[in-house]
Structure formats: structure tokens, C-alpha cells
Amino acid sequence: MEQTLYEKIGGEEGISKVVDYFYSKLVLKDPTVQQFFENTDMEEQKRHQTKFISFALGGPNQYSGNSMAKAHEGMNLKPAHFNAIMKHLHTALAHFGVNEADIDSALSKVASLKDDIVYK
């Protein structure tokens, strides 16, 4: 039986490392998107994002947050913001040795949510 992306990345522990790197080394240092996290409890954000990404990549459904549209409501995110996040997620996954085919698969899942995130 083929492993899910969740399993290939190392389960919740592996995804947690990717998410931590994603925020601390990339997103929070990028002037394109860092302002969206100025008043955010980043430890809570990382826990929440780890559960969401775990579920999106085939792990258990522990995600109990708002819908993507509701979570991004009023933020007026533009395509440039979404693209920056996608680029950072790619970089974070690659940093932890995820191969390009699996990165593409993961990014496809995230890209499918674009309409629920941009201009909300």
C-alpha cells in the first residue's frame, strides 16, 4: 500500500517541523505577507496549521478550525500574497527533503483552496 504524503513527510511530527520552518524562517521574514501575522499567536497558528496540513496531506482529521473562506474573511488577500505563501511552502517542504513530485502534489491540494482564500 502506498504511503500518504502525511506519512512520507513524517506524520504530524514531520509536518510540525515543516510548519515551524515555514513561518519562522520564511513567512515572518517576508514583507509581502508578514503583516498578516502581526497580531497572531504564532504558537497557536503553528499548531492549527500543522493539523490542517496534516489532514490535507492524508493524515487524520484533527482540524477543527473555520472554513478557509471564513478564516480569511476580511483579509483581502491578493494573488501575490497567495503565491508568496505557496512559494514558502515549497521551500519549506524542499528544505526537509520532500521530493518535487510530492511537493507538487501537496501544492496542488493547497492551490485547490485558492478561491476560498483570495479576496475574502
Question: What is the rounded (10 degree) CA torsion for 70, 72, 75, 80?
Answer: -150
* 90 annotated binding-site participant: no
Amino acid at 44: E
48 is in an annotated binding site: yes
* DSSP code for 23: I
Q: How many CB atoms lie within 10 A of CB 85?
A: 20
Task: Give the single-character DSSP code of 28.
Answer: G
Distance (Å, whole) CA 101 – CA 120: 30
Residue positions in the annotated binding site for heme? 48, 72
Q: Which residues fall in the annotated binding site?
A: 48, 72
